Amino acid sequence: MASRELVDVAVIGGGPAGLAAAAEAKGEGAGRVVMFERDERVGGILPQQIHDGFGTKVFKEALTGPEYSAIYEARVNERGVETWLKTTVTDLSRDRVLTVRSNRGIQTIEAGAVVLAMGCRERTRGAIGTSGTRPAGVYTAGAVQYYMNVSNLAVGRKVVILGSGDIGLIMARRMILEGAEVVCVAEILPQPSGIAGNIVRCLEDFDIPLYLSTTVVEIHGKERVTGVTLAEVGPKMGEKKGTRRFIECDTLLLSVGLIPETELANGLGLSMSPMTNGAIVDDSFRTSVPGIFSCGNVLQVHDVVDYATLEAEKTGIAAATWAMTGKLPEPIIDINSGAGLRYALPAKISGNDAVDFTMRPWKEEHDKSVIFSSGGEVLRRLKMPHMEPAGMIRVRVGKGRFNHVVDNEITVELGE
């Protein structure tokens, strides 16, 4: 084999999370930080996201995807992170040995700490099991975004969008601006999957109808899509009889969810969360395997890139600290997510520092509070005027509050 190299921090993935983690790991003083990116450019899907709205939390201004990405690309370069492009990590072991493949051949890397930042992929037609023929013209929203914004290709004239995820909403607007007709957006859930702002800016402003509790039950067309059949669904997602209607179109665009791309880590025996489909981590973003950290969309699918960045920055600092000292605060307090919440991260904390918790509600809620309690005592209660499954909830809990924890256990739930 060509070579065996030692690095202090190996960051797998050069999207927004990988960039931020690598930059901060290096900034924290780690000696050799290498970021592995399989594509020919860094930034993940940011370079294809030419609309603005990125950076409003981190930079207090609305940047485009390429602009946001460029800031972090410059930062990793300035700080001396090595970026290995067109390099795929093909294997990762529990003792942090990476096998990587590139046009230099096969290389073996021994890493002090590993940050998993592989991002996520789009759920496909096959995964959701849409019936019908298999013609050309069925695309995932992210692929269409690449075709339109990077390759300047028009995928169709008359479009139906299934799923109201944010990329699908953004693409609805984009396709209208590029001259296509967007007939409607169908969403199987009773509420939109994308954030409220995008519903207004991308659908309402362009008079695109959004049909809730509605899905595509059949795709038509032998060679190219000729139409889709929509139907309404009941509370248990079953099709409502008598609600089928045919919609003529030549393109079906799918925006039906994102799946963390954890496969590289499958062999490691990481403890995984069935709710996030990502690893279970503590407040240093450590997984259950020593020296392996996880952040960004491979940990939990985020709504806004800024928060993936902030999460990854903390992860980079923790990974560097661990690589240099072998020490991090021991997580001793278990976090249980209770009523109203699908999950809360991190799952374990040390209590030595303030923690930014992230969570998602099961359903839309108004005027409820996020309540942290221990031993029957409330540690922190935060009133939230509006919560929805499409948006992540973020709550910072200060260090002082953890002084009152009983039996090393905190429950977080929604209540009055």
Query: Which residues in this chain contact another protein in the complex, by CB under 8 A?
Result: 1-2, 38, 86, 88, 90, 99, 101-106, 121-122, 124-127, 129, 131-137, 140, 142-143, 146-148, 150-157, 178-180, 217-218, 222-224, 263, 266
Q: Which helix (H) or strand (E) holds 397?
A: strand 393-397
Report in angstroms how near the CB of residue 122 gets to another protein at its nearest.
5
Encoding tokens for residue 87?
């390099």
Report in angstroms how near the CB of residue 136 gets to another protein at its nearest.
4
DSSP code for 132: B
What's the chain's Rg over C-alpha atoms? 22
Identify the burial level of 263 via C-beta atoms within 10 angstroms of its C-beta, where 0-12 means exposed, 13-18 middle and 19 or more buried.
exposed
Our CB check for another protein shows the closer of 221 and 351 to be 221
Report in angstroms how near the CB of residue 167 gets to another protein at its nearest.
11
Report in angstroms how near the CB of residue 183 gets to another protein at its nearest.
15
Q: Which helix (H) or strand (E) holds 412?
A: strand 409-415
- 65-79 helix and 16-27 helix, angle to the nearest 10 degrees: 30
User: Which residues does residue 366 pair with via DSSP β-bridges, in sequence order?
Assistant: 386
Cβ proximity of 72 and 16 under 8 Å: yes
Euclidean distance between CA atoms 302 and 345, whole angstroms: 12
Cis omega before residue 346 (within 30°)? yes
Our CB check for another protein shows the closer of 218 and 334 to be 218
Our CB check for another protein shows the closer of 343 and 372 to be 343
Our CB check for another protein shows the closer of 32 and 101 to be 101
Cβ proximity of 123 and 143 under 8 Å: no
Report in angstroms how near the CB of residue 123 gets to another protein at its nearest.
9
Pairing of strands 227-232, 214-220: antiparallel
Residue of 194, 181, 243 lying closest to 214 (CA atoms): 243
Residue of 100, 94, 119 lying closest to 291 (CA atoms): 94
Report in angstroms how near the CB of residue 118 gets to another protein at its nearest.
9
Euclidean distance between CA atoms 189 and 235, whole angstroms: 9
Residue of 285, 289, 248, 290 lying closest to 269 (CA atoms): 289
Our CB check for another protein shows the closer of 82 and 356 to be 82
Our CB check for another protein shows the closer of 126 and 376 to be 126
Our CB check for another protein shows the closer of 100 and 299 to be 100
User: Which residues does residue 272 pair with via DSSP β-bridges, in sequence order?
Assistant: 279
Our CB check for another protein shows the closer of 169 and 355 to be 169
Our CB check for another protein shows the closer of 224 and 245 to be 224
Residue 278, C-beta contacts closer than 8 angstroms, at least 6 positions apart: 260, 262, 272, 294, 298, 299, 300
Our CB check for another protein shows the closer of 142 and 291 to be 142
Cβ proximity of 399 and 354 under 8 Å: yes
Report in angstroms how near the CB of residue 225 gets to another protein at its nearest.
10
Q: Where do we find the tokens 């699918």? A: 301
Report in angstroms how near the CB of residue 195 gets to another protein at its nearest.
22
Report in angstroms how near the CB of residue 336 gets to another protein at its nearest.
25
Pairing of strands 138-140, 120-122: unpaired
Report in angstroms how near the CB of residue 266 gets to another protein at its nearest.
6
